[in-house]
Amino acid sequence: MFAVYAASPQPDNPLAALTVGDRPDPDVPDGWVRVSVKAASLNMHDLWTLRGVGIKAEKFPMVLGCDGAGVLDDGTEVVIHSVISSPDWSGDETLDPKRSLLTEVHQGTFAESVVVPARNVLPKPASLSFAEAACMGTAWLTAYRMLFVKSGLRPGQTILVQGASGGVATALIQLGRAAGFRVWATGRSEDKRALAESLGAHATFESGARLPERVDGVFETVGKATWSHSVKSLKPGGVIVVSGSTSGADANAELARVFFLQLSVIGSTMGTRDELADLLKYCDVTGVRPKIGNELPLTRAEEGFKAMLDGETAGKIVFTTP
Ligand SMILES: NC(=O)c1ccc[n+]([C@@H]2O[C@H](COP(=O)([O-])OP(=O)(O)OC[C@H]3O[C@@H](n4cnc5c(N)ncnc54)[C@H](OP(=O)(O)O)[C@@H]3O)[C@@H](O)[C@H]2O)c1
């Protein structure tokens, strides 16, 4: 089958590992289902995979793509939940020590078809296109859990989203605005800040800029480049929810501020199957739809990867199959 895959890890030149070509059709183990992929979205995780981060060397070649939407052999339209937990695991799948994300152990979605455990597919709401549904499983699910499950914040409070144009950042802005938060965002360029405002941010600021007042919560995926600013932007008792560190994980922790102002730092990763079901319902009933900045046929996946590597995102990058 046609697929976009990582041939072997390339820590310093991830695009050199990107291969567009043929991979064997997958077998369908008992209890698993085949999804004919209609659309799949790109995540920073795919660039980490090309670099060999979070995946064992013996797992290459690996078809990329952590999330997607498509059709089962019986014609059911589905969205993929890409947290694969152990068969005997019950409860929050993200807490299973043996869990993996698609492309860490099992082949991913940038292909004509992908196989996943039957419990890892959910019905696609008819109101969402395949391209929109393909954004839900990773970036949007992560944002949903950060905001609604982990933060403990409530509508009316002020949140700061670090980053304006990324997949998780745009999801946080759109979900937060629709849920009644006062949403502020930082962006590295005027274009990116304008994008955040068009998606519902009430105010935007240059990265690192002093804010007019301190906020109740900060949402972090950038890491080293913004961490100090995140800590300094919080009211006493405020909360940072962190799910990524694109610019590096070795930030100054600002420990004195953390304890003196009694701040909470909460880690968050992906989300559960139930949370994905709730997110799909949320989008269905509110009409909120992911901002897709770039939709390309899977055959042109390299253009999307390059845009993400160069920081030229404007929401989600989605690949479609014919
Ligand atoms: N834990 C999880 O489950 C989980 C799930 C999804 C993603 N993540 C992580 O979250 C991060 C973002 O993923 P994504 O898919 O949203 O990536 P993305 O679409 O490429 O977005 C990157 C974001 O980072 C910001 N950024 C990057 N470098 C920056 C810098 N030096 N200074 C300020 N801002 C910077 C960008 O802000 P601008 O708009 O200003 O350019 C943009 O908002 C990645 O590290 C990813 O691994 C984790």
pLDDT digits (tens, 9 = 90+) for 166-190: 999 999 999 999 999 999 999 999 9
Tell me: do 315 and 235 sit in the same domain. no
Best residue among 41, 42, 44, 175 to mutate for probing ligand 1, ranked by most atoms within 8 Å of CB? 44
Q: Domain for residue 275, yes or no?
A: no
- Residue 246 CA to ligand 1 center (angstroms) comes to 5
Q: State whether the beta carbon of 228 lies less than 6 angstroms from ligand 1.
A: no
Q: State whether the beta carbon of 291 lies less than 6 angstroms from ligand 1.
A: no
Residues 6+ apart with CB under 8 A from 112: 1, 2, 3, 36, 37, 321
- What CATH number is attached to the domain comprising 26? 3.90.180.10
Q: State whether the beta carbon of 223 lies less than 6 angstroms from ligand 1.
A: no
Q: Which among 112, 143, 98, 131 has a CA at the least distance from the CA of 35?
A: 112
Tell me: do 198 and 257 sit in the same domain. yes
**Residue 194: what residue type?**
A
| pLDDT, tens digit (0-9, with 9 covering 90-100), for 246-293 | 999 999 999 999 999 999 999 999 999 999 999 999 999 999 999 999
Tell me: do 189 and 241 sit in the same domain. yes
Q: Domain for residue 215, yes or no?
A: yes
Tell me: do 129 and 147 sit in the same domain. no
Q: State whether the beta carbon of 45 lies less than 6 angstroms from ligand 1.
A: yes
> Using CA atoms, how far apart are residues 2 and 218, in angstroms rounded to an integer?
41
Tell me: do 120 and 17 sit in the same domain. yes
Class of residue 61 by CB neighbours under 10 A (exposed 0-12, middle 13-18, buried 19+):
middle
| pLDDT, tens digit (0-9, with 9 covering 90-100), for 1-59 | 999 999 999 999 999 999 999 999 999 999 999 999 999 999 999 999 999 999 999 99
Domain count, the chain: 2
Tell me: do 251 and 299 sit in the same domain. no
Query: Does residue 216 surpass a pLDDT of 90?
Result: yes
In this prediction, residue 308 carries a pLDDT of 97
Q: For a pLDDT cut of 90, what percent of the chain falls above it?
A: 100
In this prediction, residue 322 carries a pLDDT of 79
Q: Look up the domain containing 216 and give its range.
A: 139-267
The SS3 call for residue 128 is coil
Q: State whether the beta carbon of 243 lies less than 6 angstroms from ligand 1.
A: yes
For the chain, give the number of residues. 322
The number of the ligand 1 atom at minimal distance from the alpha carbon of 188 is 40
Q: Domain for residue 313, yes or no?
A: yes
Q: State whether the beta carbon of 143 lies less than 6 angstroms from ligand 1.
A: no
Q: Domain for residue 279, yes or no?
A: no
